[in-house]
A and B are shown apart, each in its own frame.
Chain A
Amino acid sequence: MQAIPLYPHVEFSGIKVNRQEMLRYLGYRGQQMEPDLVQSLERCAALVEAAAAPRFVAAEYPCVPQADAVQVAQTLLLPGIDIQMHLEHSERCVLMAATLGYEVERVIQYHKACSMTEAVMLDAAATALIEQVCDALEEQMRLYYQASGWDLTDRFSCGYGDLPIEVQPGITGLLQSAKTIGLTCSSSLILIPRKSVTAILGVIRPGQRRSIRGCQNCKNKQNCTFRKDGITCGHSQQITE
């Protein structure tokens, strides 16, 4: 059994921070904005775009269902019903990790010391951007699989549903993300740089894809302020129970 590394060509340089997403992370609900604030938002988005150095690593591994878990390669056991459902049609899965890099982190740190207003906006811009980076990567990988008659499921990350965050070091370890893209996992299981994502995608046949991005998979369902206001955070396409 061997990992098959994936090197999809993804053009990150053209990716601009999605301003709508950025505003949504800031809790924007259509309030009136002063021109100054609009300018600051723009400036922060541009700072993040300039500082970001998106990198990713992805590879395909065999996966085998176990009792209430999925075994990926020889060493990574992903426990939970949700990941099992996510990979129910898959004998192979793709692990991916992506990061915006350290410079974004530094820019946010610097602004925390000068202006929390801007730090919060930068943080939101970076959150939006890493999701977009993941979307772009996912799209290219999907095209790659579709070219040979396969397809990919959506992204599923640890911390979603009943897949515990404790598997994070197993994922970063298998991908050797520290070495390949400078992404490490702290002993509190925080990805560092913070604006980073790891995810699991199942390799499936076309037509087997279904959306897993509903609120039911989210641990924060009970507290979610988006849900309370009748909208979604973006991870979920629709509000679901």
Chain B
Amino acid sequence: MDIRSRLQSKRLLRLDGGMGTMLQASGLALGQNPETLNILHPEVVKGIHSAYFEAGSEVVYANTFGANAHKLSRTPYTVEEVITAGVKIAREAAAPYDGAVGLDIGPLGELLEPMGTLSFEQAYELFAQQVRAGMKAGADLIAIETMTDLYEAKAALLAAKENSDLPVFVTMSFEQDGRTFTGCSVSAMALTLQGLGADAIGINCSLGPVQIYEIAKQLLPWTTLPLIVKPNAGLPVVQDGKTVYDITPEQFGEEMARFLELGVTVLGGCCGTTPQSIRSLCRNVEGKTPDFSKRVQSVPAAVCSNTVTVPIDRVRVIGERINPTGKKLFKKALANGDMDYIVKQGIDQAEAGADILDVNVGLPSIDEAQMMARTVKTLQSVINLPLQIDSSDPKAAEAGLRCYNGKPILNSVNGEDKVLDRLLPLVKKYGCAVVGLTLDENGIPRTAQERFRIAEKIKNRAMAYGIAPQDVYIDCLTLTASAEQDLAMETVKAVRLVKEQLGLKTVLGVSNISFGLPAREKLNQVFLTAAMAAGLDLPIINPNVLSMMDAVAAFHVLSGADVGSGEYIARFSQQSAQGSTASGAVAADAVTMQEKEIGYYILKGLREETRQSCRRLLEQKQGLEIVNADLIPALDQVGKLYETGKIFLPQLIAAAEAAKMAFEEIRASMPANDTSTEKGPIVLATVKGDIHDIGKNIVKVVLENYGYRIIDLGRDVAVEAVVQAVQKYQVRLVGLSALMTTTLPSMEQTIRALRESGCDCKIWVGGAVLTPEYAKEIGADFYAKDAQQSVSIAREILG
């Protein structure tokens, strides 16, 4: 059977039912690896496949669900052995029925980064091994199923597409709230998996057909792919000490037939279903044809993270701040790998109301591809907004697109043939949206008409690559009004042309309009307003500028997107309320501030007051003097209070975080190359395998306040990464943390690797399970029981 043409024929395709259920019924021991039966008892497995074919299944999934190297590590068998045997058994069972065989791929059983410690790349490799074995064994299709983590589903789908040419089915498991355990929504699944080139997608396991019906309905607007539904036999209940399901096989079949109303064409069963369920399914769908009237012809323009979907159905703001252009602090952060700084830029924009974040990390001195992947991974571990991968380097672009968990935007291509032909295949492969700039080898055309023609070319070329027009966003390019005044309105005109005549979404970097002129905010706002009126969908702006976000909010009222003006009213009643209290607070503070020393604010953990106080001090004295005369004594006092139990942990950290505000002020007041307030650097890392990094982060905040520059490598840090950082930054002091007895060995390995590399550094360690004795035993120079002790160690080594 040719699966792809069968899917296209829109005829029903009948899958099998539960395998685990049947294996348990035939005596599989609890906790035993079901896939080992392919080798130990092939006849049992074959019997089950045959029973499904006999019941009416046209495709069976081979008994390979958990046949990955991770899960099989506790068995004596290899992935190749188990998969080869599994596919062979299914093939034998399929032969008399002319049936097809799916290579079944389930979750790896270990969660991926950022929540877990398995990297995306490792997950990809594990899946690729399964795919290659399945291909070789002669599977007809690949069925990735029961996924609850979109990132894992993406790794599996990429592995399937890059290591085989077989059709790929992908189904995920949802809870009744319409989300998976990891928070993935139905729309995010559909947008991402269709983009990545799945042949059919859908829902399996976790719920019965009645509950899945509601979730399948939610899926309809978001995909044009053939749909799969493979529910459990109902919801489980206990009867006489046994699990049974709340509906009978007969009811199962009846419920399954209802999916034809939704245009679902691939039907089967999951846990608890048996050949009886499938027979009932087949009987109930017999002679019926699916109704496709509820299926959509195209997917709406939208991007998503794994949890947040942003349809481009109204003006959506792209935050522009994650970009080093013209920002000395950002450049420094990139050069130092200071991810905290970059994440902070993202958080500020998210809180200011950005819908999407642009990510540009291009700097001549760094490996942009590596930095892009690291930044994307770090941002998506904290912020759930969709990202726009912004790079002119195809390697960096691909690195970002590949490791993104969702459907991102690529910024950008332009009208040059060589750019289009280099980047559009990436857009197609990773299923992202793309920004097309209306310029080509001849530069930016002056007239709207000429820019329109380039937009048209980009659209046509994208479609030729199989990219849907709703995924092409055109940037008609803002020119500086001070230099080319007569072209300002040409841009607005071009936006209108592209929007109306090509029907494409439009994007525009707005702030460039005011370059070189005073009161830039005013020009920006008026230009933004004019562009929105002409049909701009995606302004790229600084969302931290209130007037720009206000303009967008106001425009939503006029365009009708903000129905009943509810959002507008909420925004501005809130703003005026905030405005009055804020100014009141400032006034009250202005009185008290004069009475209080900066040390008081630090002790009380008052961040803003500390910052203000530091600003006033900077008018009187040098930064370094403030550090030594005011900040360090205050922090020492805080440390003493903590050690004597006068304050407790949150108060210690709050004080440190307040002091950090003062340090930021002082650093900002000094030239970028002045490092006189800086000591160190110190490398900090939570060791490989461990994700408990709260202790390490506290140490970091406290140490930073004593002027130490911290290179924070994060959590679950590979041994080599620590060694590399120590060598690269010529570090003399390294702090390692581990919270589990199981991760102490990787702490020991890290220490050994540092010693063997010949690094001349001292190492201190900390974490709940460590003792001074054990620290010595594994070769550390110091043990610190808390952050304050870490300060003493740093002072001893670095001064």
Contact = CB atoms under 8 A, between A and B. Distances in A.
Interface stretch (A3-11, A80-88, A149-157, A207-215): A3-11
A25 B787 CA distance: 17
Contact of B236 (A5, A29, A115, A187): A5
A115 B698 CA distance: 10
Interface in A66-84: 73-76
B689 A187 contact: yes
Interface stretch (B107-115, B326-334, B495-503): B107-115
Nearest to B658: A117
A113 B116 contact: no
Nearest to B107: A178
Contact of A117 (B110, B183, B343, B657): B657
Interface stretch (A13-21, A32-40, A134-142, A198-206): A32-40
B691 interface: yes
A222 B697 contact: no
A26 B650 contact: yes
B561 interface: no
B236 A26 contact: no
B417 to A, nearest CB: 42
A116 B701 contact: yes
Contacts of B692: 190, 194
B22 to A, nearest CB: 15
B325 interface: no
Contacts of B648: 26-29, 31
B689 A188 contact: yes
In the complex, which range does the number of interface residues on chain B fall in?
35 or more
A166 to B, nearest CB: 8
B586 interface: no
A143 interface: no
Contacts of A4: 238, 241-242
Given A187-B689, A188-B689, A103 B29 contact: no
B344 interface: yes
Nearest to A222: B771
A33 B109 CA distance: 44
A37 B657 CA distance: 14
A226 interface: no
Interface string B689-705: 11111100110010000
B697 A109 contact: no
A181 B181 contact: yes
Interface string A40-77: 11000000000000000000010000000000011110
B147 to A, nearest CB: 11
A186 interface: yes
B146 interface: yes
Given A27-B648, A188-B117, A193-B115, A74 B30 contact: yes
Contacts of A61: 30
Contacts of B689: 186-188, 190
Given A75-B30, A119-B697, A223-B771, A113 B340 contact: yes
Most chain A beta carbons < 10 A, residue from B31, B114, B741: B31
Contacts of B182: 102, 182
A26 B694 CA distance: 12
B26 interface: no
A184 interface: yes
A237 B682 CA distance: 42
Contacts of B645: 29, 31
A103 B177 CA distance: 14
A113 B487 CA distance: 42
B31 to A, nearest CB: 3
Nearest to A159: B741
Given A29-B645, A116-B657, A119-B694, A184 B116 contact: yes
A205 B183 CA distance: 42
Contacts of A41: 650
B115 A192 contact: yes
A165 B605 contact: no
A98 interface: no
B211 to A, nearest CB: 15
A110 to B, nearest CB: 5
A184 B691 CA distance: 14
Interface string B247-285: 000000000000000000000000000000000000000
B375 to A, nearest CB: 13
Contacts of B650: 26, 37, 40-41, 117, 120-121
A23 to B, nearest CB: 8
B798 interface: no
A45 B180 CA distance: 24
B609 to A, nearest CB: 11
A235 interface: no
A110 B692 CA distance: 15
A182 B694 contact: no
A64 B26 CA distance: 24
A27 B649 contact: yes
Most chain A beta carbons < 10 A, residue from B173, B381, B651: B651
Contacts of B653: 116-117, 120
Contacts of B349: none
B492 to A, nearest CB: 38
A159 to B, nearest CB: 8
Interface string A92-120: 00000000011101100110111111011
Given A26-B648, A194-B691, A73 B116 contact: no
B646 interface: yes
B690 A178 contact: no
B183 A102 contact: yes
Q: Which 3 A-B pairs have the closest CB atoms?
A: A182-B181, A75-B31, A188-B689
Interface of B: 29-32, 107, 109-111, 114-118, 146, 148, 173, 180-183, 205-206, 236-238, 241-243, 340, 343-344, 347, 381-384, 604-606, 645-651, 653-654, 656-657, 689-694, 697-698, 701, 740-743, 746, 768-769, 771
Given A31-B646, A165-B741, A194-B691, 11 more contacts: A2-B241, A2-B242, A6-B238, A26-B648, A26-B650, A31-B647, A123-B694, A186-B117, A186-B689, A187-B689, A189-B740
